[in-house]
A and B are shown apart, each in its own frame.
Chain A
Amino acid sequence: MAERIKAAEKFKRNRVPMPEQPPEKRVKNFDEVPLGYTLEDAIEEAQRCLQCKPAACIEGCPADVHIPQFIDKVIDEDLEGAFKEIKITNGLPAVCGRVCPQEEQCEEKCVMNKKGKPIAIGRLERYVADWAREHGVGDEKPQKSSQPKKIAIVGSGPAGLACATDLAKLGYDVTIYEALHKPGGVLIYGIPEFRLPKSIVDYEINKIKELGVKIITNYIIGLTESVDSLIEKYDAVFLGNGAGAPRFMGIPGENLNGVYSASEFLTRSNLMRAFDFPKYDTPINVGKRVAVIGGGNVAMDAVRTAKRLGAEDAIIVYRRSRTEIPARAEEIEHAEAEGIQFELLTNPVRVIGDENGNVKGLECLRMELGEPDESGRRRPIPIEGSNFVLDVDNVIIAIGQSANPIVARSATGVETNKWGYFVADEETGHTTHPKVWAGGDIVTGAATVILAVGAGKKAAESINKYLEEQG
């Protein structure tokens, strides 16, 4: 059992770094980049925590993870206890510890952040969850289903999985309907292996199945069966179908061969494992030079994937400056270390093709920053006559996703807003239909894993209350 150190010592110590695969090596494989803490690393980091009461960090966590409590147990090497503490509020800690934007959430609020040395909460959460997985420590099994009530969940992304987990633990009979052949949502088809190994997602999903949740894949709600029909057959319905429809820019040449949406590019590589072609049958074309348009996490994932698939030059094309890039700092740093190039203050105007209809260039305009716009960020303004051409073989468009209307079209009485997102109560996820709840990206627009988890949990609680009232 490690000792508790004095406060003065806590302030002196630095964040314990996490070992990583070196950049030269990792750009040649799809293995995870950060390698995780050792037990010694974890204890050393945990010792820095001030155990604040009340704990500011918890306010920053959308899932209200019991942060100081679990960290304290790490110092005692009570990893099982730490895991259980986390699991009280967060069903997917191995995932969140890896992909949460901690620097804007728990770690931003951590009081140690004032000194620029927030506790590495995400890394600790990941360590504890990985330990539990490796040691086969799981959830307590729910009591045998005492509830004859049936709930249908549409979509098996983090929102649907979280909602299903909580309802199953309460003893309900839960069925998830998933359009694709594999459950997991963005965790499976979007976020690359080198940031979130698929074996971890598969493990979590198996645990959820062990709770008695049925997952029916290859089942497209809105086509195979309507939401209306689910409403008839089930006592309550949760819609967690995400917002995965790709946006294009509407510039000339976008349909040339070699132009991908980030969704297609990442789905081919992650879900269909095109990186392992021809062992897997789905092909992907990556040339010598690849431009990725956009500056978010999705753009970073696409550009780093392109590099690993053999692009010599993988270039981010972003219309504002470095300060405005919305991607996580960690992702940008990882990308830079891997040799990703950045064409900032640059906006594409046209994709140029060769005589065979293949991409050969991307015509761009240089931009400068003007006054701040509604979003508070300085508006990029094109510099007239600054057109230039980037010679590239592929263009990947990562400028955002929107709602796919298939589900909503089949849901009578469930209101959507002008962007096609479901209108739902922020606290409960209840939609305008008495038997229907919704949460995750399909309510908020593209957001984060942990927000989707939070929305799924809130909805589960509200559904339980509703069904208890129904008797």
Chain B
Amino acid sequence: MYKILEKERWSESVFSYIIDAPYVAKAAQPGQFIVLITRPTGERIPLTIADSSAEEGWVQIVFQVVGKSTLELSLMEKNDELYSFAGPLGTASELENFGGKVVIIGGGIGIAPIHPIARKLKEMGNYVVSVIGARTKELLIMEDKIREASNELIVVTDDGSYGRKALVTEPLDEMLKTEGENIKKIWAIGPPIMMKFCTKTAVANGRGNDIIVSLNPIMVDGTGMCGACRVTVGGKTKFACVDGPEFIGGLVDFDEFMGRQRQYIEKEKNALESYKAKLQKEGRV
């Protein structure tokens, strides 16, 4: 079970896997995630469901190598089996025909999870404007798929190596200023700092309640049993794994959220270093 059916490398550090997981595929909806473990001594890592097929029984995950567990995952090969793969977790995105334009923003690895959301919103009759951004051209993923899932696409890079040289917040700000209420809803998924600034932009335009962000705090079980994932939303403590991961951006305490993500940074760094050293010794890198 949980066999890797396809493995693709999309950039230096981004990989796409298709996993054999018929139960998860059957129930998966946009906005939800899975938790996987590579091998019995591994940790539980949450990853968003980038795509799935109930008929064919597979789930796609797209991940970026940031630490030991994702590095280890990236070293697995087609036909290898994951030790554990559970989901779908979290609540689904609340998608409907909002009767106008919807702006969908994906930054970096966050482009993968916005894909099913954009596609579904377009299917439902919304006019979807997608804004995707990356630090540099090499890191931009899924451009064609997002274009297909949208009515309009704006591409930005931080360094101007491709598309417009801008941060994703810039086109968002312009649209909110020129089109105002015609923009009914905003989704922003990407690095925490990007979601924070997209929210700031929305709030500055009086739209703090119309922006949805997807939070990725540190999790353990992912099913509401531990509280590791707690975030403050609208002054209340929420469990991102069951109450989210999507929340109204304008209500999120981003500073607390980002601080909590750094809890294990020292241990994680050491684990990554010693794992890399081990790989080197074994001649695997």
Interface residues of A (CB under 8 A from B): 179-181, 217-220, 223-225, 244-246, 248, 254-255, 257-258, 260-261, 263-264, 267-268, 272-273, 277-283, 285, 356-357, 404-406
Contact B89 A223, beta carbon cutoff 8 Å: yes
Interface segment, one of B126-134, B135-143, B221-229: B221-229
Closest CB of chain B to A239's CB: distance in Å?
15
What mask results when residues 212 to 250 of chain B are scored 1 for a CB within 8 Å of chain A, else 0?
000000001101111110111000010000100000000
Q: Report chain A residues within 8 Å CB of B267.
A: 277-278, 283, 285
Give the one of A179, A255, A279, A405 with max B CB within 10 A.
A255
Given A220-B87, A264-B226, decide whether A283 and B264 contact each other with a Cβ distance below 8 A: yes
Interface segment, one of B9-17, B37-45, B105-113, B176-184: B37-45
Q: Report chain B residues within 8 Å CB of A278.
A: 267, 270-271, 274
Interface residues of B (CB under 8 A from A): 23-24, 27, 37, 41-44, 68-69, 83-89, 220-221, 223-228, 230-232, 237, 242, 256, 259-260, 262-264, 267-268, 270-271, 274
Closest CB of chain B to A377's CB: distance in Å?
27
Closest CB of chain A to B110's CB: distance in Å?
23
22 contacts between A and B (CB under 8 A): A181-B37, A181-B44, A223-B223, A244-B225, A248-B227, A248-B230, A255-B256, A257-B263, A264-B220, A264-B227, A267-B221, A272-B44, A272-B220, A277-B267, A278-B270, A280-B41, A281-B271, A282-B44, A283-B268, A285-B264, A357-B256, A357-B260
**What is the bound-complex CA distance between A254 and B230, given in angstroms?**
10
Q: Report chain B residues within 8 Å CB of A245.
A: 224-225
Q: In chain A, what residue has the closest Cβ to B231? A: A255
Pick the contact of B260 from A217, A255, A264, A267 — CB < 8 Å? A255
Q: Can you add 9 more A-B contacts, CB < 8 Å, to A255-B260, A278-B267, A281-B271?
A: A181-B86, A220-B89, A224-B23, A224-B24, A248-B227, A248-B230, A255-B232, A261-B226, A280-B43
Contact A246 B225, beta carbon cutoff 8 Å: yes
Q: Report chain B residues within 8 Å CB of A254.
A: 237
**What is the bound-complex CA distance between A179 and B92, given in angstroms?**
19
Contact A263 B24, beta carbon cutoff 8 Å: no
Q: Report chain A residues within 8 Å CB of B41.
A: 273, 279-281
**What is the bound-complex CA distance between A3 and B260, given in angstroms?**
64
Q: Report chain A residues within 8 Å CB of B37.
A: 181
Closest CB of chain B to A234's CB: distance in Å?
16
**What is the bound-complex CA distance between A273 and B220, given in angstroms?**
12
Q: Report chain A residues within 8 Å CB of B256.
A: 255, 357
Contact A246 B221, beta carbon cutoff 8 Å: no
Contact A220 B264, beta carbon cutoff 8 Å: no
Give the one of B37, B42, B86 with max A CB within 10 A.
B86
Q: Report chain B residues within 8 Å CB of A219.
A: 23, 86
Closest CB of chain B to A343's CB: distance in Å?
23
Q: In chain A, what residue has the closest Cβ to B255? A: A357
Contact B226 A263, beta carbon cutoff 8 Å: yes
Q: Report chain B residues within 8 Å CB of A281.
A: 41-43, 68-69, 271
Pick the contact of B43 from A246, A261, A272 — CB < 8 Å? A272
Pick the contact of B27 from A224, A263, A264, A404 — CB < 8 Å? A224
Q: Report chain B residues within 8 Å CB of A405.
A: 224
Q: Report chain A residues within 8 Å CB of B242.
A: 404, 406
**What is the bound-complex CA distance between A277 and B41, given in angstroms?**
10
Contact A225 B87, beta carbon cutoff 8 Å: no
**What is the bound-complex CA distance between A258 and B268, given in angstroms?**
16
Q: Report chain B residues within 8 Å CB of A263.
A: 225-227
**What is the bound-complex CA distance between A99 and B259, given in angstroms?**
38
**What is the bound-complex CA distance between A231 and B44, given in angstroms?**
30
Contact B27 A179, beta carbon cutoff 8 Å: no
**What is the bound-complex CA distance between A34 and B179, given in angstroms?**
72
Contact A267 B226, beta carbon cutoff 8 Å: yes
Closest CB of chain B to A218's CB: distance in Å?
4
Contact B220 A268, beta carbon cutoff 8 Å: yes
Contact A255 B230, beta carbon cutoff 8 Å: yes
Contact A246 B226, beta carbon cutoff 8 Å: yes
Contact A180 B227, beta carbon cutoff 8 Å: no
Closest CB of chain A to B229's CB: distance in Å?
9
**What is the bound-complex CA distance between A254 and B227, given in angstroms?**
11
Q: Report chain A residues within 8 Å CB of B259.
A: 257, 356-357
Contact B87 A267, beta carbon cutoff 8 Å: no
